[in-house]
Amino acid sequence: MKAAIIGGGVIGGGWAARFLLNGWDVAVFDPDPDAPRKIAAVLDNAKLSLPALSDVPLPAMGQLSYAATLADAVTGADYIQESVSERLDLKHRVYAEIQKAAPDTPLGSSTSGYKPSQLQEGAINPATIFVAHPFNPVYLLPLAEVVPSPASDAALIEGVKDTLRSIGMFPLHVRKEIDAHIADRFLEAVWREALWLVKDGIATTEEIDEAIRMGFGLRWGQMGLFETYRIAGGEAGMKHFLEQFGPCLTWPWTKLMDVPELNDELVDLIAGQSDAQSGHHTIRELERIRDSNLVGFLRVLKDRDWGAGRVLKAHDAARRDVVQTPDADAPLVRLQVLPSWIDYNGHMTESRYLFAGSETSDTLLRLIGADMDYVAGGHSYYTAETHIRHLGEAKLGDHLTGSVQVLGADDKRLHIFITIAKDGDAVATLEQMLLHVDMAAGKTCPAAPAVLDRLFAIRDAHASLPRPAGAGRHIGQGKS
């Protein structure tokens, strides 16, 4: 599959990374000679963060190329995403050139404000043009607002939504086109109010950010607006909330219908406060901090099968059936050492090495079909024995991978060797024996035939591999 990315800025680069890391080939067209450097920086961030959201190995990364012409980029593409500047005349010129070469290919726009009917004006084939508005960082945040117009091809739009799901996104179908779609209308309202608060000397940029990230931002990130307010209504629910707080909407609390003039004085005030708040970090450092935090939030939501985490689980499930037999040295999981993983020596604590091993073995179990649905049916693999060796050090912020080699397996037993590595070098190994158990009876029993079929395929593929040097060692055994 090939995606054409038109415009290689932050958003275009995020789209490119999202497609590439999900196995698509990507052709980028951007006349800016600095575009390859910019996209490389975005891709570096994506490689560090996106794999950490997945419990299924990502496919081999697609091929990235830079096209000399727009026509070269879109020829043969299965999907086209435009992310050029927010100028309608420019977009129209770009679409005309695209559709000379690829008139029937789905053509999504990253526009944050224009309606699809505006984008379609004068197009060779208006039916293929639509809005696919993402959020930065595109490679991590799943939302894409898909906005068609009455002129759009309904079947094509459904196919686009399937394409976006296949790369781990959540296509929110906006049924009626409107300026700025859905999410940006909220953001603009909050942004205008924030500008007034700074302009009027009520709050600084840092104080406004603290109000969001210490309060309602945490609620919105996992429950949204209406579900949050439903809880606020207590046992009587949303109706009580509206009856109690609805009159407040008529109070003169906000200036949301008015926009402060962004004159030099206000721009300098905001920029100065922002520099004081965050100027000690480079933009690249802030991006890495943001991505690491987002991975943590999303992993928690994934563990709870809630909100954006449910999208991640669905993406894993869709890919699990097509995952090939993993190589013994191919990473099954990618982890980053978090502050809570550090002991008093500044190193990753022992329990987290066990956690990393557990994440790796759990991923293997999911690959063979022994997942939570299987457990809900009353059967599971229990860890009967673990021998861990500490071979190196992992510190705060280090990126780790977990890989597994199946040393042996029968209908009840699974013998595996896990390697936790940093930059390709092992920092720990875990040798484990797992037993398949009937949970109700509390006894071992044969695994389901479908599970054994997948497990034995991996066992047989790994049988020709060299036995790991540390396999079978006992505590205190000297080096040979």
Mean pLDDT of 205-233: 90
Inter-helix orientation angle 308-320/350-367, to 10°: 50
Beta strands in 251-301 (DSSP E): none
Whether residue 242 is predicted with pLDDT greater than 90 in this model: the reply is no
Both structure tokens of 77: 């593409």
Q: Say how many C-beta atoms besides its own lie within 10 A of residue 246's C-beta.
A: 9
What percentage of the chain carries pLDDT values higher than 70? 95
Where residue 472 falls (left for φ over 0; alpha for ψ -120 to 50; beta otherwise) is left
The CA-atom distances, in angstroms, between 438 and each of 26, 74, 375, 376, 447 are: 47, 54, 10, 11, 9
What confidence category does residue 325 fall into, taking pLDDT thresholds of 50, 70 and 90? low
Query: Are the C-beta atoms of 369 and 453 separated by less than 8 Å?
Result: no
pLDDT bin (cut points 50, 70, 90) of residue 231 is confident
437 vs 228, higher pLDDT: 437
Query: Does the structure show a pLDDT above 70 at 359?
Result: yes
Q: For position 372, what pLDDT does the model report?
A: 85
Reported as a single tens digit per residue, the pLDDT across 91-143 is 999 999 999 999 999 999 999 999 999 999 999 999 999 999 999 999 999 99
Quote the pLDDT of residue 250. Answer: 65
- Which three-class secondary structure state does DSSP give residue 15? helix
Contact 189, 203 (CB under 8 A): no
Q: What is the pLDDT of residues 187-217, one digit of tens each?
A: 998 999 999 999 999 999 999 999 999 999 9
Whether pLDDT at 366 is above 60: yes
Coil, helix or strand at residue 184: helix
What's the pLDDT score for residue 384?
96
Q: Is 120 exposed, middle or buried (0-12, 13-18, 19+ CB in 10 A)?
A: buried
pLDDT digits over 247-285, tens only? 766 666 666 667 788 889 988 998 899 899 888 988 888
Higher pLDDT, 385 or 293: 385
Distance (Å) of CA 468 to CA 22, 30, 355, 452: 31, 48, 21, 23
Is the backbone of residue 224 left (phi > 0), alpha (psi -120 to 50) or beta?
A: left
pLDDT at position 323 over 70: no
- Using CA atoms, how far apart are residues 160 and 184, in angstroms rounded to an integer? 21
Residue tagged 């394409």 (tokens): 163
Percentage of the chain beyond pLDDT 90 is: 68
What's the pLDDT at 135? 96
Phi, psi of 197 (to 5 degrees): -60, -40
Average predicted confidence (pLDDT) for the chain: 91
For the cut 80, the answer to whether the pLDDT of residue 311 exceeds it is yes
For residue 328, pLDDT over 70 is answered with no
Distance between CA atoms of residues 307 and 140, nearest Å: 14
Residue 324 reports pLDDT greater than 60 = no
CA distances from 171 to 141, 157, 160, 319, 386 (A): 11, 10, 9, 18, 43
What was the pLDDT predicted at 317?
81
Mean local confidence (pLDDT), 144-150:
97
Contact 375, 448 (CB under 8 A): no
Taking residues 353-362, what's their average pLDDT? 92
Residue where the block lists tokens 């595109």: 138
Amino acid 102: pLDDT? 97
Give per-residue pLDDT as tens, 439-462.
999 999 999 999 999 999 999 999
- Least Cα distance to 428 among 413, 439, 417 occurs for 417
pLDDT given for residue 227 in this prediction: 87
Q: How far is CA 189 from the centre of its chain?
A: 26
Q: For residue 480, what pLDDT band results from cuts at 50, 70 and 90? A: low
* Confidence at residue 107, expressed as pLDDT on a 0 to 100 scale: 98
- The secondary structure of 393-448 as a DSSP string is --BTT-EEEEEEEEEEE-SSEEEEEEEEEETTEEEEEEEEEEEEEETTTTEE-PPP
Pairing of strands 399-409, 443-444: unpaired
Q: What are phi and psi of 129, to 5 degrees?
A: -100, 135
Give which of 359, 384, 376, 374 is closest to 435, Cα–Cα: 384
